[in-house]
Structure 1
Amino acid sequence: MDLGNEYLKIVRERFESVKDLGDKTISQLSEKDIHWKLNEASNSIAIIAKHLSGNMISRWSNFLTTDGEKSSRNRDQEFEDDVSSKQEMITIWERGWNILLDTLNGLENQDLLKNITIRGGRHTVLEAIERQMAHYSYHVGQIVYIGKQLKDESWETLSIPKGKSEEYLQEKLEKRS
């Protein structure tokens, strides 16, 4: 087994899993829900999705050859809630994820220890991947948390329902038998 290629396979699956949590949350939300925020210091789901996409486009476009903070990026604008619809937000969201996943699919074992730059700082590709995994997981966690609060009793859980851990484990064990 080749460790680098195994890592790339696993990390692609992890990014897809993080995206899936966001997708499943967004699918439960209304047009109004995506713009809700607790207060002026908070971000709506629309803003978080826009920020994630802007970050992904900047970081993962020409990943191995240009600084991850592109001059074309307007990070401050990512925090303005000017998304007109849930469909527009989904289009923005998908664009970022597609660039990320396409770039990951093009990476090879020998790329992992290459150096890239983000805001002028040097990082190995491996470090950059881990940095972005933490960043995206953090923000998708925010999306899930906001969605869960908004949907309250109508929230469809994305993981093992409370009080169902033992039942879930038994089902998994029975499937393996």
Structure 2
Amino acid sequence: MNSYLESIRKQFEYYKMLGDNTFEQITENELFWKANEESNSIAMIVKHLNGNMLSRWTDFLNSDGEKTWRKRDEEFDNDIKTKKELLFKWNEGWDCLFNAIIPLTENDLEKEVYIRNMGHSVVEAINRQIAHYSYHVGQIVFIGKVIQNENWNSLSIPKGESKKYNKEKFSKPKRKEHFTNDL
């Protein structure tokens, strides 16, 4: 089961990297762009992720993941003002997450934790959060792609490059390792 813990850590690192690489491609003003009134800007998504991560991962094994101090509705107020502030909130949330999952052991995986009074095994709680974060990081990347259009630098296999990419991958011997080791 330690391979699960290593895998999930690397998977979270991968989604953080996708966000980091998106932020590098867009300007400060573009962090606040919204397609329409009902959509969220990148800054609003980051603020929501920060609130969720701080709530879920603070005192992870001992207290409900929905903290009484969390103000979820306010996470969607567009009040981040600078890229520096956005990056602080982004990194603060991820630091909280990694500080909670890195010390976990195999013995912790079947412990029960609660989110809004609903019991989850630690594995279920982690899986719930990785799905939630990948959903929002995908939104961040999509908004970045929309904004950058033809200036976007692909974060995965660039269009039209699949054959070249696969040729390089299949030129190596079969092996077992996390896919992020080979990025």
Taking structure 2 as the reference length, the TM-score comes to 0.92
Report the equivalent of 1:25. 22
Indicate whether 1:122 and 2:119 are aligned: yes
SS of 2:120's partner is: strand
Find the counterpart in structure 2 of residue 68 from structure 1.
Answer: 65
- The 5 Å alignment of 1:8-19 reads 8-19=5-16
Distance 1:173 1:120 in 2: 47
Q: Taking every aligned residue pair, what percent have the same amino acid on both sides?
A: 52
Note the alpha carbon deviations across 1:62-96, whole angstroms, 9 max, x for none.
00000000011111111001001011100000000
Q: Which residue of 1 aligns with 2:134?
A: 137
**Residues 87-124 of structure 1 deviation map (CA, whole Å, 9 limit, x = unaligned):** 11000000000110111101110111100110111111
For the pair 1:79 / 2:76, whether they are aligned, the reply is: yes
* Counterpart AA for 2:98: L
- Consecutive aligned runs of 4 or more in structure 1 exceeding 6 Å deviation: none
Is the aligned partner of 1:102 residue 2:99?
A: yes
| CA positional deviation for 1:173 | 3.4
Residue in structure 1 matched with residue 180 of structure 2 by the alignment:
none
Distance, in Å, in 1 between the alignment partners of 2:26 and 2:172 is: 32
Count residues in correspondence. Answer: 174
Q: Is 1:47 aligned to residue 44 of structure 2? A: yes
Q: Which amino acid aligns with 1:152?
A: N
> CA shift at 1:169, angstroms?
1.5
Amino acid corresponding to residue 40 of structure 2 in structure 1:
N
- The DSSP-based 3-state class of the residue aligned with 1:145 is helix
Amino acid at match of 2:44: I
Is 2:158 aligned against 1:161? yes
Structure 2: tracts of 5 or more residues without a match? 175-183
Instruction: Using the TM superposition, give the Cα deviation of residue 175 of structure 1 relative to its aligned residue in structure 2, in angstroms.
Output: 5.2
What is the TM-score of this pair, normalised by structure 1?
0.95
Task: Look up the SS of the partner of 2:110 in the other structure.
Answer: coil
Q: What letter matches 1:92 in structure 2? A: K
